[in-house]
């Protein structure tokens, strides 16, 4: 298990002084990056082998959003490797050790020369320590789309959407989807299914469907093939407050 401590910054907070969902995902991504870099399995290592880990799916459950200046612990660990796939958990805990959020994720290892899935090398598997997966819901990876999704204005991929792999960072897809949520919609559950990579100057065509508690956003190319499908749910219940402040 790899962990690091932090304190909720003003730049990570929303208008109510709580950690934003986007910042939560950034914490999770940073944590796995820190672990890989510290193990010598980071970006430079992968580039030397012409490999890249590509996120295939997320499932995130939020119990509480911490407040500005609150101290938190972020953690991650892999719990399974199978062929070209790697499964990893993430968590956010308060200073009393209570879980504020949990996440499950599935990653695919790609050969960047052929853009084909490959099995993880033994040198990588020997350094990552597998641990039992977190107790949480693990919903299906595939996200069904509502039949009445409405097409929105297209988006063009800009440089600020890209990461070190030169494609749209997985968190930026979530930011795009959340732009269609109504004010005050507190995300309790999020699922994301990634289908293909989007690159600089690609045009993304959003389609949005909704129920009372859930929004589904499909981000497609001009031919109707999805880059990513995202499901955002408030669960019908407000995200609970810090018990110390209730």
Residue 159, token pair as written in the block: 């440089």
| pTM over 0.85, yes/no | yes
Residue 100, token pair as written in the block: 């504020």
In the chain, the domains with their CATH numbers are 1-138 (3.10.129.10), 139-246 (3.10.129.10)
| C-alpha distances in Å from residue 26, one per residue of 30, 55, 220, 223 | 6, 14, 23, 30
Per-residue pLDDT of the chain (246 residues; tens, 9 = 90+): 999 999 999 999 999 999 999 999 999 999 999 999 999 999 999 999 999 999 999 999 999 999 999 999 999 999 999 999 999 999 999 999 999 999 999 999 999 999 999 999 998 999 999 999 999 999 999 999 988 899 999 999 999 999 888 889 999 999 999 999 998 899 999 999 999 999 999 999 999 999 878 999 999 999 999 999 999 998 644 444 544 443
SS3 35: helix
């Amino acid at each position: 298990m790899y962990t690091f401590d932090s304190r909720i910054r003003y730049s990570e907070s929303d208008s109510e002084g709580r950690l934003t969902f986007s910042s939560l995902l950034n914490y999770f991504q940073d944590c796995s990056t820190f672990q890989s870099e510290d193990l010598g399995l980071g970006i430079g290592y992968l580039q030397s082998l012409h490999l890249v880990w590509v996120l295939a799916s997320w499932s995130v459950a939020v119990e509480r959003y911490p407040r500005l200046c609150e101290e938190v612990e972020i953690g991650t660990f892999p719990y399974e490797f199978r062929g070209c796939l790697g499964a990893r958990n993430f968590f956010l805990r308060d200073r009393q050790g209570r879980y504020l959020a949990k996440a499950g994720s599935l990653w695919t290892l790609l050969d960047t020369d052929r853009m084909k899935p490959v099995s993880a090398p033994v040198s990588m598997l020997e350094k990552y320590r597998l641990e039992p997966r977190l107790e949480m819901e693990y919903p299906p990876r595939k996200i069904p789309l509502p039949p009445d999704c409405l097409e929105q204005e297209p988006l063009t991929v800009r440089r600020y959407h890209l990461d070190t792999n030169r494609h749209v960072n997985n968190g930026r897809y979530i930011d795009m989807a959340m732009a269609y949520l109504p004010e005050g919609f507190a995300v309790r559950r999020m699922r994301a299914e990634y289908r293909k990579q989007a690159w600089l100057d690609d045009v993304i065509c959003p389609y949005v469907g909704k129920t009372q508690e859930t929004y589904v956003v499909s981000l497609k190319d001009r031919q109707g093939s999805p880059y990513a499908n995202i499901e955002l749910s408030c669960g019908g219940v407000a995200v609970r407050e810090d018990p110390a402040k209730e």
